[in-house]
Amino acid sequence: MVDERLLRILACPRCKGELDYVTGPPEELRCGACRLAYPVRDDIPVMLIEEARTMEERD
């Protein structure tokens, strides 16, 4: 579980937009504007564009 204080300050590294926390599986932070999902590993968000996956329509 990602700390609430951290979730309040995180933003999408690509567009600086708001992120939605999804507890999973998979656990990730999603940007609706960019349609990117950033993984959370061991309760640590990996906020690298290269590590993000593109969200599909079913997401």
- What type of residue sits at position 28? E
Amino acid letter for position 17: G
Q: Break the chain into its structural domains and give their ranges.
A: 4-54
Q: Tens-of-pLDDT digits for all 59 residues of the chain? A: 899 999 999 999 999 999 999 997 899 999 999 999 999 999 999 999 999 999 985 55
pLDDT at 57: 59
| pTM for the model | 0.89
How many residues belong to the chain? 59
Q: What is the pLDDT of residue 1?
A: 86
CATH code assigned to 4-54: 2.20.25.10
Q: Cα 38 to chain center, whole Å?
A: 4
